[in-house]
Amino acid sequence: MKTASYFCSVKLYHNIRLLYTPVGFSAKRGKEMADIETVPNAAILTTEDGRIQAVGSFSEERPTSPPIPSEKRIEIEEIDCRGLVALPGFVDSHTHAVFYGERSEEFAMRAEGRSYQEIAGMGGGIRSSVEAVGQATKEEIAEYSRPFTRRALALGTTLMEIKSGYGLSLEAERKLLEAADIVSRETPMQIVKTFLGAHAVPRGRTQREYVESIVSEQLPSLYAMAEFCDVFMDEGYFSEDETVRICKRAKELGMKIKLHADELAETHGAETAVTLGAFSADHLLNVSDAGIRALSESEHTVATLLPITALSLRAAYAPARKLIDAGCAVALATDCNPGSSMSENMQFAVSLGVIAMQMSPAEALTAATLNGAAALDRARTHGTIEGGKMADFVLYDIPRLEYMPYHIAVSDIVAVVRGGSVVSGAL
C-alpha cells in the first residue's frame, strides 16, 4: 500500500483483474437480467463518504494533465487488489436473522418424512421460536444473532434485511426490532428492518383477535421502528383479506410493503402483493400463471426467490425461468431463519439459482445484488459497482464470474469492502 496525491478521493482499489457488475439504478427485468458489464484491469475510486467516485481501467483513472492545483490535492490510499475479481456485495433482501435458539430437531424430523406444516401442528415451527424469544432479553437475542451477520458479511453480504416476527405481541415484537438495532449498530453491514407481526397467530389468541391487535396496537406503536411491513399470507397463516387489512394500515402509517406469498400453497399472494404496491413478493414456490403475469406487469414488485428454503423443505423450487421469461424482476435471498432455512450464505442461494432453477450465472448475480437492492427500495444507492453508489464490493480469488456459483458452498472471498473500507478479510 502506498499513498499518492489525487483529486478529491480517499482510496483507489486497483489491479482488479476482472470486475463484473449489473449497471443501473432500478431492478432489471426479464432478459435484461443477463446484462452484466465486464471491466478488465479495473480500478475503483472511492469518495470520503464511502461511495464510488468512478470505475474504469486503472490507467484511465490516473490524472494526466492539467495538473490539479495543490490546494485541492488530498492524500489517497492506493490498494493493490493483486489480480483478484470484484463483484458487488450481495444484498440479502429476505432474512429472519433475529431469533433465539435453534430447531435442528425439526430438521431431523423432516429427514424422517414429516412436513413443515405437520411439525408446526405438533407445537414446533414459528411458535416454538416465539416461546424462546419470550424468555430472552433483547441483549441476549442480539448476542445470539450477531454471529449470523458476522458470517454473512464474511460470505459477501453487505446489505441485509432483517424481519421481526418471532415475538407476536407488542412487547416481544418491539424487543426483536430493538435487538436488530443492536446488531445493526455493531456490524459494518447495512441493515434494513421489516416488521412481521403477522408471521403466525400466537398460542392462546384467536385469528380475529390477533389481526385486530396488529392493526390497532402493534402497527401504531412500532411503525417508526421498521421501514417495511411484511405478512405471511399463506394457507394456515393469514388470508388475503387479513393481509390487505394489515398492509393498508401499514401504508397509512408510511410503511412500505413486502409479502410472504404463495410459499406453502397458491393463495393469490403474488397478485395481492402487486395490488398493494409491494416492493417484493417472496417465496412463490406455488405461484400461479396469473400471479406471474401480475408480477411481470407490476410497477415495482420484485419476485424474490429463496431456494435454500425449498431445498431445506424438500419442496419444488420456484419457477425462476418462467418468471424471468415472462419479464419479471427476480431477486435471490437466503430467508435465513431457524426453521426453514438455516443459512446466511448468499453464494449458496446463487448456486441453487443456477443449478436448481436454471438461471444463468449472470442472471443470478443480478438477482443477488441489484434486484435484491430494488426489493429493499435501495436500487439507487446499492447493488452495483458504479459511480454514485455505495462502495460495497467483494474481492474473490476466482478465474471468472461463473466460478463463484460453480464452487458450491465454498467461499473464495479474500476481502469484503463496505462503504469504501475493507471490513472482512484482508488485502
Give contact residues for ligand NIG (rule: CB under 6 A).
96, 125-126, 129, 232, 260, 263, 309, 335, 337-340
- What minimum distance in Å lies between the beta carbon of 179 and ligand NIG? 16
DSSP annotation string for 326-372: TT--EEE----BTTTB----HHHHHHHHHHHH---HHHHHHHHTHHH
Binding site for Fe ion (CB under 5 A): 335
Strands 302-305 and 280-283: parallel
**Residue closer to ligand NIG (CB basis): 282 or 392:** 282
**Residue closer to ligand NIG (CB basis): 74 or 315:** 315
- What minimum distance in Å lies between the beta carbon of 262 and Fe ion? 13
Instruction: Say which entry of ligand NIG, Fe ion, none residue 129 contacts (CB below 5 to 8 A, set by partner kind).
Output: ligand NIG
Tell which residue, 235, 336, 240, has the closest CA to residue 286: 235
**Residue closer to ligand NIG (CB basis): 46 or 169:** 169
- What minimum distance in Å lies between the beta carbon of 269 and Fe ion? 12
**Residue closer to Fe ion (CB basis): 231 or 404:** 231
- What minimum distance in Å lies between the beta carbon of 333 and Fe ion? 9
- For 340-379, b/e burial (b = at least 16 CB within 10 A) is bbbbbbbbbbbbbbbeebebbbbbbbbbbbbbbbbbbbbb
Q: Which three cell numbers mark 68?
A: 490539479
**Residue closer to ligand NIG (CB basis): 126 or 305:** 126
**Residue closer to ligand NIG (CB basis): 81 or 313:** 313
Quick check: 114 and 42 in contact, CB under 8 A? no
The CB density around residue 79, as the number of other CB atoms within 10 Å, is 23
DSSP SS3 for 40: strand
- What minimum distance in Å lies between the beta carbon of 313 and ligand NIG? 8
Closest residue by beta carbon to ligand NIG: 339
**Residue closer to ligand NIG (CB basis): 269 or 338:** 338
The CB density around residue 191, as the number of other CB atoms within 10 Å, is 18
Listed in sequence order, the residues at least 6 apart from 171 whose beta carbon sits closer than 8 Å to its beta carbon are none
Instruction: Say which entry of ligand NIG, Fe ion, none residue 296 contacts (CB below 5 to 8 A, set by partner kind).
Output: none
Instruction: Say which entry of Fe ion, ligand NIG, none residue 184 contacts (CB below 5 to 8 A, set by partner kind).
Output: none
- What minimum distance in Å lies between the beta carbon of 317 and ligand NIG? 14
Instruction: Say which entry of ligand NIG, Fe ion, none residue 424 contacts (CB below 5 to 8 A, set by partner kind).
Output: none
- What minimum distance in Å lies between the beta carbon of 141 and ligand NIG? 14
CA distances from 401 to 13, 29, 75, 85, 355 (A): 19, 20, 33, 8, 15
Quick check: 294 and 274 in contact, CB under 8 A? yes
Quick check: 328 and 29 in contact, CB under 8 A? yes
Instruction: Say which entry of Fe ion, ligand NIG, none residue 309 contacts (CB below 5 to 8 A, set by partner kind).
Output: ligand NIG
